[in-house]
Amino acid sequence: MVGRRRRLFICLTGVAILATAAFYQSALIGWWRGEAKYKGRYTNSWRAEMRCYDVHVGFDGLGHGYWDIERKPSKWEKWLSKVLPVSFQPKLDSPPPLQNGDPEAVPVLIELLQTPERNVRILAARGLETIGPPARPVVPVLLTLLEDEDLDLVNQVIITLTTIDPITAKKVGLPEGWSLDW
């Protein structure tokens, strides 16, 4: 009888540990990797939220470019929209995270610039653009991104670089065929 209770206790303890680890997964991963933290959240948590956004470059009839940013609903949000009444459905028109211009977010945005997801890198560069000159520590990372294959990312990096440090942007020179008129 004592053996059964001991095994039951060990199993329940294991389940409790696994449930706790699943709940705090992003915090544990961020702590383990030594990621930067902003507003109590590690980089991987911000990255997961930014993955929900699609970024498209468009052009209006006058030849001016613009960014079209749209939030994609997750699987559980799609399911909830079928189950719940309209007043309780999740909002999909929220702006992308880390776009508020807070200089304390710079370490997280620097790490997000190095992720493989295109949309996350573009949104991170846009977030740095809103911060402006206080984000000067990111200039070396932005200079390495000028060599990227994704032209939308390169365009956003150039805009960000000219906003943060116009002197360095002039020293580097703009890529051929690119101008600041859009």
- In the structure, what pLDDT confidence band is assigned to residue 182 with cuts at 50, 70 and 90? very low
Neighbours of 124 (CB within 10 A): 33
- What type of residue sits at position 176? E
Q: Are strands 37-38 and 41-42 parallel, antiparallel or unpaired?
A: antiparallel
Query: Model's pTM, two decimal places?
Result: 0.76
CB contact set of 107 (below 8 Å; sequence gap of 6+): 36, 37, 38
Q: Which residue bears the tokens 């540990």?
A: 17
As a whole number, the mean pLDDT across the chain is 81
- In the structure, what pLDDT confidence band is assigned to residue 63 with cuts at 50, 70 and 90? low
Per domain, the residue ranges of the chain are 1-34, 36-54+98-172
Residues 120-152 have pLDDT tens digits of 999 999 999 999 999 999 999 999 999 999 888
CA angle 63, 67, 69 (to 5 degrees): 150
